[in-house]
Structure 1
Amino acid sequence: MQHFTCVCGHLLSVNSKEMSATEHACTWETVSDAVSHVYTSACINRRSACSDMLTVTVGDTVYGDLLAFGTSYAVSIARLIKPHSRDKGFTTHTGFRIMGLLLGHTAPVNCVRWIRSAGLVEDSRPYLLLASADNKSQVKIWSCTLNSLLNKPWSTRGGNWFPLVDVLIPSSEIPNAVDGFVLWRSTSDGCCVVSLDVVADTRIHVWHFILRESQTTESGPVILCHRVTRPPSYATILCRPSMCLCLRSFCWLASATQVIHFVIVGLDTGVTEIWAEYMTPTQSEHVTDDGDCARFIRSARLTGHTDWVRCLDLCRDSSTTTLSLFLATGGQDNVIRLWHIFDATQVPDKATMKVCDLQLPLPPDAVRCTLSIASESVLSSHENWVTGLAWAPRTRAVSFPPLLLSSSMDQSMIVWAPPDDKVGLWLEHTRVGNSGITGLSFLDCLWLPSDGSAIFGHNFQGSLSSWYHSQYDGLWSPGFPLCGHHGPVMDLSWSAVNTSASPFHLLFTVSSDQTVRAHAPLRLESRINSSDCFNDVSELYDHLWHEIARPQVHGYDMNAIASLSTISYVSAGDEKVARVFTATRSFVDACRQMLKLDDYPLGDNLLSVELAASSLAERAVQPTLGLSNQISVPSSVDLLDDAVTDSTVDSDNCVASSCDAPLPTEDRLQCATLWPEIKKLYGHPYEVYCLAAHPSRMLIASACVATKQIHACIILWNGLADWAIHQRLVHHQLTVTQMSWSHDGQHLLAVSRDRTWSVWSPEQANEQLPNYILTAFPAKGQGHTRIIWTGAWCPDDRYFLTGSRDKCLLVWCAPKKRAPAELIAVSCYPLNVRKVFLDGITALDVCQCSNVDPAVVSYLVAIGFESGTLILLILYRSVLMEPADLRWSAIFSLPPPWSHVPGKQVRRVAFEPTTFEMTGTTLTPVHLATGATDGVVRVFLIDRQRLSACLLAPYETVS
């Protein structure tokens, strides 16, 4: 048994008598040029305060905007990309690209917040700090150096993030919000103080840490405790019996030596409380190590809301040295209240309007000062709960206070502003949102922090909708949403095409969130804007991936999908029926325009001929209380523009889509990109579990959940006869977990829960639609000992591989071609290249590897594990050796930012369809798609020539 650690830290184990003793794992530095991460689809967790944005600046240079949000058990880091089109008639829009995941939480992340400078002007720290908290009371502070963000290659520029602080909230309380700030000290030791505030259940928890700037490492600053043998100082404030729902904190420098730390919290009683503590210059006496909160006092108690205070936000006036701060609070009473905190001695005209004075926790020898708070205004325009508030960034504010953005469960967001700078008279400036009955409520809202030219809304299903402000006409136009599945990804499938010169492949994904989603690369012939992004102007990218359609929004959790072509697929939910779908004419026209495919016919491979777009349905609609998408005849509605309103609802509750529109916005994805259902496939007694499409698209294989052999049969559906049942294949005793057709269509591989596999072959050769019979199965005691999750064919169909929960990867020879009279089921033995890992194998796929050397035949294998790990390795042999004499290359494990959440099973990995190239030709890069139960879909671009050179480099040339 051999053990070794990959660059990502995952311990792998390999057991093979035939393997070289020098086998090892390749490091990330070795293969960084061969594998690039091009796309991640993920959603924001269904919690308010679970996303935040920050502008990255160095000196006076703005490098761009970072978005951090919680997705499943991880924190995603995304960057805003602003491409500039070279084509005069083609418009590209700003969109987010997820660069990586921060892994370490063991429960869903509830809240995320950037830790900013406590001063009015951002400091020049060479690192960033990010706080996150999860559902199991774990709070983390992540650190990343600016150099790792700015100087790394684009494909890896998510930054080198490391957990700096890891604390656990006492009593296992569930956090609702987190905030904090960095306070620079005037001492010469290069230290600064980080304050971390968390509200959980009925308590406010406060930590203080000291960071030593002079000891900054690659991961960020070195954290110091107040005392070497004791943890950082900690305090807790009890608000019982009220639940703490939202939080903001800030500090006020009353004088050069007087610092007051304020914590503002919204309660479920409709009250907003302000707590304060005096921070001593040494930061060692303000609170004892046992959690005593004697130094915290309640400065003020603000009433007015009649229901829960769900959100709040602060903004400070940077034009004055005195404190002038606006506080906005939003509640479930549909009302927003504005409060003004000010120095009463500096603003005498407001002294009569004040609600109360803040009690300040100053020591007896401190300089006396007074802060007051006044009720500024009450904003009432939302028709449901106010869920998010955000003040516009200072760069956009001409005067103080700036614009205010609010989000609500009424499916709208409102930009508020005092007209003509008359503070006190706040009116609705702009209203945006999702229209139609299918519109979704918003849970939070954000401004673009660099210039305030965009607003973002986090909706109930985890998507981040965007609107961009035009300087020419003053309108807000919808942009690309950041979206993904909000449930486990169960299956994925690349679209199949007739020609090897296909310009693109659609990627279909299904999830237990009851949706089917289509992803595609937007073809760009433009350079990324270097002033807004983190890259060099010499970098050129021709694709930017997006979700372009949501063909199916079902009433059942989705289990499986099999693509028939670029415009048709078969899917199965958690029901006994499989369903066949085709695209709409509006989708085909939009694809041709968006993806620049005007000269490429989107053919329907099901019929093996090009299907005229005019014969497709114009659009589809899902009727009320129905599960089947139906063809809908469009009523006379105007095509939609790209301004504030981008959809129109007709009598069918369907949004008509314009072919001239950009990539779909979130409300279009909800209902304007549906595909009509053309056929239901009845035949299984229980829920359909897996599907597989024949390469010629003439057959579809399906299997269902089963505990008996009679129910575990595989059904073959005839695509040439209106999807009638062609044949039932009976062999397995339990559920068939996955099926895979060989590339030439001559064999069907099925793997099962009964720990066996089966291979089915045509009974008669040269038949257009033959019957299939069992030709191979594993010999007793020679296969897997646990459930077999996955199987895949090598691209030349000489071998197939199977992976199991027993942690073994086995390689088998394909059945030999025999005369019809000699077709009998043969028991098979695995080849002597068994690999054993420390985790169960749940997904695998194989594609052709480098073929430059005519003396070596090699296959690239991608494997996904129960632990969420992804690895790549090569199976190869010399043409001079026996076909069974195979060897394994070194292993490359994808780094943690590109992997899936630990403990979340990888459900499917799949290389995009490619044709088998003859020896001596140069292979083009290939895409690899992965999906897991963390709800994340990833796409990687692999340079097979370079990867082959890296993984096979440690071995001598096979002779």
Structure 2
Amino acid sequence: MTSDDLAAEVSHTAAGGNRHPSAADWGPGVLAFGAGVNIAIWNPADPRCRGVSALLRGHTDTVNAIKFNITDSGCHLISGGADKTVRVWKPSHDPSRPSYEQVAVLTEHSASINTISVLPDCDIFVTGAADGTMKIWRLTGAGADLIQSISLKPRMLPLTTALVHLRGGSVTIAVAGTSSTIQLFSRPSEDAEFELQASLAGHEGWIRSLDFVHSGEDILLASASQDKYIRLWRFRSAGDHAGIKLSDVPDAGLAATKKSLSNKAHRVGLETAKFAVTFEALLIGHEDWIYTAKWAPSWTDQSAPRLLSASADNSLAIWQADEASGFWVCNARLGEISSQKGSTTATGSTGGFWIGLWQPDVESVVSLGRTGSWRRWLYDRAVDSWRQQVGISGHTQEVQGVAWSRDGSYLLTTSSDQTTRLLAEWKRDGHVSWHEFARPQIHGYDLNCISSLGVNQFISGADEKLLRVFDKPRAIDHLLTTLSGTPSTVDGTLADAANIPVLGLSNKAVAAVADDEPADGQVNGHADEHQVVAPDSVIHKSTLDIDHPPYEDQLARHTLWPEHEKLYGHGYEISAVAASHDGRLVATACKASSIDHAVIRLYETSEWREVKPALTAHTLTVTALAFSGDDLYLLSVGRDRQWALFERNSKEPTRYAPLIANPKGHTRMILDCDWAPTAAGHVFATAGRDKHVRVWKLADGQAECIANIPAHVSITAVAIHHETILATLLLAYGTDDGCVGIVNLSTNALEVTQQRMLPVHHCSSAAITCLRWRPSVGTGKEEQNLAVASEDGAVRLFRFQT
């Protein structure tokens, strides 16, 4: 194959959103949100539900704030992060590149950026950071120029800002954060600098969100706080309302002490065009901190403004003034009902909504929750209600491992965010898109590794020093069969579903009940007073009888897999796990700083007992394990710079014995390994910190290095396709800086015939942690799929056409 014979494209990207109220914005036809150190681009209204279309690389730490700025000169995307930088992006017109490209990096702040606000149809924007300053900028062709820097006093860290045009040409900035007051800055004249003109008191907690909207001749400011309330403030032209008593000199210290419903008026604006600011309304209804409050963007001067609020009580609320009385009321509430909140366990509260956004045409709203998943609701005019739609999801921490099912029908991913997720294809009407179909494991420890045991079982290892085996429930099998078109693998041993009992730690198998049956807490079909299940978490047979991928509330509550077994024996955090191809054995290892713990333990899967004695060869942590395609050999690599081979006992297939070891396989620690298909002989590859992939061939009990593949940085992952394609072996490797290389090896001489790197804009912004080729069952040899896991929290699926 030549370079033109192997065309790569990203078929799916899964990335969870950052939990920061300012970390997303919905612009024309696209929503941008912070996903770790990346910026994810997603079109929620895409009828094909293709999810994230691009991840923008640039920031070196968590992205906290994102804002679109649309002017006559075009559309800019402005982002700020914990790396203390503000970055300006412009749309890219190159179809082979991401949709936005970085044009400027602003480094004037000395701490994490928390908020960005823009002025519609204007080139001015404002940033606020944890250094206690607010900076005003003007966009230019080359990026942005700093106009003014303001140190907020009394000492306050800005968490939210908002900008508005006042009549007469004045601009007012509202800023709030780690205090209970809102500070208003305006210019006394058009050529002067911004200065503090008023402080609005009333809130009793930190203020997390500010937003302006025009209401006829007046302007409304909404402020949302951790005191569980939203306050509305009205800006009136002082000349039109001469009877309003204006405060003479704003006193920030005095205002901060007043917690009453005072209607004292303040003046802001130009000397020739003053506005009076008075308290308008107190919106009561949320039961926990309110993170965002956003006005509906597209309405006329004659229509009544609507406000969308997102709260940690796991709900979105839409507020509007009643036409008859003028009182502000909540006319729609989206999210979870009270009985589903409760504790913050795996199946209890999902931790609330951190972000709520309107679609620019106001026909849809989205919210981001603690799990990193986006939910979407679409307004149905026919029935005057909001209907939930398919959203997107992804891990929120480093993805540590991926594993395909043995038939390639689904992909399992596991992460430091303490969840295991199942991705599969949704096939309908000629369209194919990838989605999260299940969340089999919601854990209390960081998950480090995973391996598939056939099509109905997997095993994962975590920081809790033990491994857990899970079985696929009937509900998920039915969902995969219905939506993905995969053959059903149901047998008599599979449970209907799984749940976590009250005060329990393990997923328990439960029997699904009919919709009209009572929630009696049946476990495995029998009532057990010691394993009582919360009534709102009982699985009904119709719960997952759906024609679309599960929504986030269904994923978090109804797609767990029952736990089959726990494997004990290791003394430290699990570092590696591998299952044999025949499914009889599981090999495991844990973190180790001495030879006593740097052992490989084998467990047979019929009775789940350890096969003793443990295998010894390494002196430090074993980083990866792999069985050969015929299970004749077990390969291990470790931080002690050596690899070791163990051979299966011909008389006792569950026992392995040391065959050979190479203490100088690499000059630095070895981080990953994999076997080539047995059609090429017993060939394996090792990858290490010494920036090399070495390919070894086993013959007559000895291993010879037959190929050496160099890279520009340390290599952290390697994978060889389990089938030969056009007399070629496909080898992929991942690097410490997030790049992925593809190498073609001839099956005869095992020589490198081609080596190339995937485009940088397709690659990760952090180290690659795991690579796995999809088994070619049912897909043919014209298309190859590679799953890539990374420390940037994203899972990328690449499709290669040959």
The TM-score normalised by the length of structure 2 is 0.88
SS of match in other structure, 2:555:
helix
Alignment equivalent of 2:776, drawn from 914, 918, 923: 914
Q: Which amino acid aligns with 1:811?
A: V
Q: 1:354 to 1:394 in 2, by over 3 A?
A: farther
Instruction: Name the counterpart of 1:645.
Output: none
Q: 1:407 to 1:836 in 2, by over 3 A?
A: same
Alignment equivalent of 2:401, drawn from 480, 491, 502: 491
Once the two structures are TM-superposed, the CA of residue 272 in structure 1 deviates from its matched residue by 1.3
Alignment equivalent of 2:675, drawn from 752, 775, 793: 793
Query: What are the equivalent positions in structure 2 for 1:757-776 lying under 5 Å apart?
Result: 757-764=643-650, 769-776=653-660
Q: 1:236 to 1:626 in 2, by over 3 A?
A: same
Q: 1:851 to 1:545 in 2, by over 3 A?
A: closer
Q: 1:756 to 1:850 in 2, by over 3 A?
A: closer
Cα distance between partner residues in 1 of 2:629 and 2:214 = 64
SS of match in other structure, 2:228:
coil
The question of whether the paired residues in 1 share the 8 Å contact of 2:734 and 2:768 is answered with yes
The question of whether the paired residues in 2 share the 8 Å contact of 1:753 and 1:787 is answered with yes
Q: What whole-Å deviation, never above 9, does each CA across 1:433-452 have from its counterpart, x for those lacking one?
A: 23423122334333342422
Cα distance between partner residues in 2 of 1:523 and 1:929 = 19
Once the two structures are TM-superposed, the CA of residue 623 in structure 1 deviates from its matched residue by 2.6
Alignment equivalent of 1:482, drawn from 389, 392, 400: 392
Cα distance between partner residues in 1 of 2:84 and 2:697 = 51
- Work out whether 1:195 is the aligned partner of 2:195: no
Once the two structures are TM-superposed, the CA of residue 46 in structure 1 deviates from its matched residue by 1.9
Instruction: Name the counterpart of 2:149.
Output: 235
Alignment equivalent of 2:41, drawn from 64, 69, 77: 77
Alignment equivalent of 1:428, drawn from 330, 355, 366: 330
Instruction: Name the counterpart of 1:956.
Output: none
Query: What are the equivalent positions in structure 2 for 1:140-151 lying under 5 Å apart?
Result: 140-145=87-92, 147-148=93-94
Query: What are the equivalent positions in structure 2 for 1:176-325 lying under 5 Å apart?
Result: 176-181=114-119, 193-211=123-141, 222-223=142-143, 232-252=146-166, 254=168, 259-277=169-187, 286=191, 295-317=193-215, 324-325=218-219
Instruction: Name the counterpart of 1:8.
Output: none
Instruction: Name the counterpart of 2:313.
Output: 410
Q: Which amino acid aligns with 2:24?
A: S
Once the two structures are TM-superposed, the CA of residue 203 in structure 1 deviates from its matched residue by 2.1
Q: Which runs of 5+ in 1 are unaligned?
A: 1-24, 56-64, 85-94, 118-122, 185-192, 212-221, 226-230, 281-285, 287-293, 363-367, 498-503, 527-541, 603-610, 641-648, 817-824, 946-959
Instruction: Name the counterpart of 1:137.
Output: 84
Q: 1:142 to 1:845 in 2, by over 3 A?
A: same
Cα distance between partner residues in 2 of 1:565 and 1:251 = 62
Instruction: Name the counterpart of 2:62.
Output: 108
Q: Which amino acid aligns with 1:305?
A: H
Instruction: Name the counterpart of 2:528.
Output: none
Once the two structures are TM-superposed, the CA of residue 96 in structure 1 deviates from its matched residue by 6.1
The question of whether the paired residues in 1 share the 8 Å contact of 2:310 and 2:353 is answered with yes
Query: What are the equivalent positions in structure 2 for 1:736-747 lying under 5 Å apart?
Result: 736-747=622-633
Cα distance between partner residues in 2 of 1:183 and 1:478 = 32
Once the two structures are TM-superposed, the CA of residue 491 in structure 1 deviates from its matched residue by 0.8
Cα distance between partner residues in 2 of 1:736 and 1:777 = 13
The question of whether the paired residues in 2 share the 8 Å contact of 1:276 and 1:360 is answered with yes
Instruction: Name the counterpart of 1:869.
Output: 739
The question of whether the paired residues in 2 share the 8 Å contact of 1:524 and 1:543 is answered with yes
Cα distance between partner residues in 2 of 1:246 and 1:695 = 54
Q: What whole-Å deviation, never above 9, does each CA across 1:517-576 have from its counterpart, x for those lacking one?
A: 1111111224xxxxxxxxxxxxxxx31111111111112111111111332111111123
Cα distance between partner residues in 1 of 2:481 and 2:778 = 27
Instruction: Name the counterpart of 1:120.
Output: none
Q: 1:261 to 1:685 in 2, by over 3 A?
A: same
Alignment equivalent of 1:843, drawn from 681, 702, 717: 717
Alignment equivalent of 1:567, drawn from 456, 459, 479: 456
Once the two structures are TM-superposed, the CA of residue 636 in structure 1 deviates from its matched residue by 6.0
Q: What whole-Å deviation, never above 9, does each CA across 1:714-756 have from its counterpart, x for those lacking one?
A: 2222123445537632222222111112223222221111211
The TM-score normalised by the length of structure 1 is 0.74
- Work out whether 1:933 is the aligned partner of 2:791: yes
The question of whether the paired residues in 2 share the 8 Å contact of 1:445 and 1:458 is answered with yes
Q: Which amino acid aligns with 2:752?
A: R
Cα distance between partner residues in 1 of 2:233 and 2:50 = 34
The question of whether the paired residues in 2 share the 8 Å contact of 1:490 and 1:510 is answered with yes
More RCO (CA 8 Å, sep 6+): 1
- Work out whether 1:732 is the aligned partner of 2:636: no
Alignment equivalent of 1:631, drawn from 509, 514, 527: 509
Cα distance between partner residues in 2 of 1:279 and 1:495 = 67
Q: Which amino acid aligns with 1:273?
A: Q
Q: Which amino acid aligns with 2:730?
A: L
Q: What whole-Å deviation, never above 9, does each CA across 1:217-274 have from its counterpart, x for those lacking one?
A: xxxxx44x8xxxxx643332433323322111133462xxxx4332111243321121
The question of whether the paired residues in 2 share the 8 Å contact of 1:454 and 1:467 is answered with yes
Q: Which amino acid aligns with 2:309?
A: S
Cα distance between partner residues in 2 of 1:444 and 1:488 = 20
Q: Which moved more, 1:627-636 or 1:863-872?
A: 627-636
Cα distance between partner residues in 1 of 2:19 and 2:477 = 33
Q: Which runs of 5+ in 2 are unaligned?
A: 247-261, 343-347, 519-531
The question of whether the paired residues in 2 share the 8 Å contact of 1:203 and 1:239 is answered with no
Once the two structures are TM-superposed, the CA of residue 941 in structure 1 deviates from its matched residue by 0.8
Q: In proportion to residue count, which structure has more strand?
A: 2
SS of match in other structure, 2:742:
strand
The question of whether the paired residues in 1 share the 8 Å contact of 2:128 and 2:159 is answered with no
Instruction: Name the counterpart of 2:104.
Output: 165
Q: What whole-Å deviation, never above 9, does each CA across 1:165-217 have from its counterpart, x for those lacking one?
A: 211234x2332211124656xxxxxxxx4434334443211122333xxxxxx
SS of match in other structure, 1:834:
strand
Once the two structures are TM-superposed, the CA of residue 113 in structure 1 deviates from its matched residue by 1.2
Percent identical among aligned pairs is: 26
- Work out whether 1:519 is the aligned partner of 2:466: no
Q: How many residues in Structure 1 have an aligned counterpart in Structure 2?
A: 760
Q: 1:496 to 1:386 in 2, by over 3 A?
A: same
SS of match in other structure, 1:660:
coil
Cα distance between partner residues in 2 of 1:676 and 1:687 = 23
Q: 1:849 to 1:234 in 2, by over 3 A?
A: farther
The question of whether the paired residues in 2 share the 8 Å contact of 1:177 and 1:200 is answered with no
The question of whether the paired residues in 1 share the 8 Å contact of 2:18 and 2:372 is answered with yes
The question of whether the paired residues in 2 share the 8 Å contact of 1:334 and 1:383 is answered with yes
Cα distance between partner residues in 1 of 2:781 and 2:241 = 72
Q: Which amino acid aligns with 1:67?
A: L
Q: Which amino acid aligns with 1:744?
A: D
The question of whether the paired residues in 2 share the 8 Å contact of 1:140 and 1:165 is answered with yes
Q: Which amino acid aligns with 1:387?
A: Y
Once the two structures are TM-superposed, the CA of residue 351 in structure 1 deviates from its matched residue by 9.7
Cα distance between partner residues in 1 of 2:439 and 2:301 = 41
Cα distance between partner residues in 2 of 1:639 and 1:134 = 51
Q: CA RMSD in A?
A: 3.0
Q: 1:619 to 1:770 in 2, by over 3 A?
A: closer
Runs of 4+ in structure 1 deviating by more than 6 angstroms, as ranges, are 347-354
Instruction: Name the counterpart of 1:47.
Output: 20
Instruction: Name the counterpart of 1:20.
Output: none
Q: What whole-Å deviation, never above 9, does each CA across 1:418-475 have from its counterpart, x for those lacking one?
A: 23x3473111111122342312233433334242222212212322222222222222
Q: 1:99 to 1:342 in 2, by over 3 A?
A: same
Q: What whole-Å deviation, never above 9, does each CA across 1:451-502 have from its counterpart, x for those lacking one?
A: 22222122123222222222222222222232211221111100113xxxxx
- Work out whether 1:651 is the aligned partner of 2:537: no
Cα distance between partner residues in 2 of 1:456 and 1:916 = 36
Q: Which moved more, 1:700-709 or 1:197-206?
A: 197-206
Cα distance between partner residues in 2 of 1:326 and 1:508 = 48
- Work out whether 1:377 is the aligned partner of 2:288: no
Q: Which amino acid aligns with 1:927?
A: N
Q: What whole-Å deviation, never above 9, does each CA across 1:37-93 have from its counterpart, x for those lacking one?
A: 1111111112111111111xxxxxxxxx21111121221112225337xxxxxxxxx
SS of match in other structure, 1:588:
helix
Cα distance between partner residues in 1 of 2:470 and 2:533 = 23
Instruction: Name the counterpart of 2:687.
Output: 803
